[in-house]
């Protein structure tokens, strides 16, 4: 049976929040201002908030906060990587909570947003009353290398098209080349071509083991900004220490749900086992045969059911 999300709604409040060094975060709030506050941390790095995400919550019961991370979406300046590191992003979440006068909130994050959720909960456990991480990323070198260099067979063709962007005489990896093109050079035509190939490959990895549909990937400018931010983060291993779970004991009192497909090509299912070992209170929902894509029927259903249990 197809899962029916809550109806589409429009934000009832929005704005830009200045967070220093010229960065302004675009935020929006939907649903009931008197309801249970919840913040959705989008993935990427480099993506942005989606209208789909707020449809997982009953707008009569929840005050739904969304925002675009530094350099992403409608936040300003678009594509900026200066003063854009993970420690800033964690501080930004707390600044947004304070700006909106929310004492405590539920935190939801998928993929890269799951990594931010875990880091935020460890930094500010007293501000989080519950948490859900969908297909969480742990920012390990192995994950990054598998994504950039070792795709599953079903994603090999778009990966080869991405690899073909790297000059044949070059000894650079795709990530090293991408970081140079997006972050250190100014050739917009080269950036647009590389961003298109990168987006096509990432889309295939996202829906694996399903076949990637032929869809519009966005404007060249938006794609360049997205992959400038993404390559900046991946090249620097997302600016995290030895382990993203170094202080997992600090979130031991936070109810935590993990939803993860066991055939995820981007963020391996074993990530959730690692989280559960570090945070034994975590409830792991295994989506059998599921990949990374939130809109996959089984993944969407599991995430929706987990969130509708929040009351």
The predicted-structure confidence for 69-105, as pLDDT tens digits, reads as follows: 999 999 999 999 999 999 999 999 999 999 999 999 9
Alpha-carbon distance of 230 to 245, in angstroms, equals 21
pLDDT at 310 over 90: yes
Query: Which pTM was predicted?
Result: 0.97
Is pLDDT above 80 for 213? no
The fold adopted by the segment(s) 13-139+240-308 is: Rossmann fold (3.40.50)
What are the sequence ranges of the domains in the chain? 13-139+240-308, 142-238
Indicate which residues carry an active-site annotation: 111, 264, 292
For residue range 131-149, list pLDDT tens digits in order. Answer: 999 999 999 999 999 999 9
Question: What average pLDDT does the segment 219-228 reach?
Answer: 95
79, 164, 305 from 232: Cα distances, Å: 10, 21, 35
Residues whose CB falls within 8 Å of the CB of residue 214, separated by 6 or more in sequence, listed in order: none
Predicted confidence (pLDDT) per residue in 22-65, tens digit:
999 999 999 999 999 999 999 999 999 999 999 999 999 999 99
């Amino acid at each position: 049976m197809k899962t029916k999300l809550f109806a589409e709604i429009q934000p009832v409040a929005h704005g830009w929040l200045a967070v220093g060094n010229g960065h302004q975060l675009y935020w929006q709030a939907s649903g009931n201002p008197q309801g249970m506050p919840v913040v959705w941390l989008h993935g990427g790095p480099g993506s942005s908030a989606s209208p789909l995400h707020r449809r997982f919550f009953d707008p009569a019961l929840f005050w739904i906060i969304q925002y675009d991370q530094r350099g992403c979406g409608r936040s300003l300046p678009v594509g900026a990587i200066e003063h854009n590191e993970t420690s800033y992003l964690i501080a930004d979440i707390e600044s947004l909570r304070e700006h909106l006068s929310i004492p405590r909130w539920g935190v939801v994050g998928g993929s890269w947003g799951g990594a931010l959720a875990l880091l935020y909960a460890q930094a500010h456990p007293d501000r989080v009353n519950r948490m859900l991480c969908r297909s969480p990323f742990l920012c390990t070198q192995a994950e990054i290398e598998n994504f950039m260099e070792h795709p599953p067979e079903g994603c090999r063709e778009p990966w080869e098209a991405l690899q073909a962007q790297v000059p044949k005489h070059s000894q650079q990896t795709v990530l090293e080349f991408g970081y140079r093109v997006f972050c250190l050079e100014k050739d917009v035509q080269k950036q647009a071509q590389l961003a298109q190939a990168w987006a096509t490959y990432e889309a295939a990895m996202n829906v694996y083991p399903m076949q990637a549909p032929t869809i519009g990937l966005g404007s060249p400018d938006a794609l360049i900004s997205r992959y400038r931010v993404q390559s900046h983060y991946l090249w620097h291993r997302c600016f995290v220490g030895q382990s993203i779970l170094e202080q997992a004991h600090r979130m031991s009192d936070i109810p935590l749900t993990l939803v993860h497909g066991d055939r995820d090509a981007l963020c391996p299912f074993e990530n959730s086992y690692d989280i559960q070992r570090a945070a034994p209170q975590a409830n792991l929902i295994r989506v059998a045969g599921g990949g990374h894509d939130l809109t996959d029927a089984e993944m969407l259903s599991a995430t929706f059911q987990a969130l509708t249990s929040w009351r």
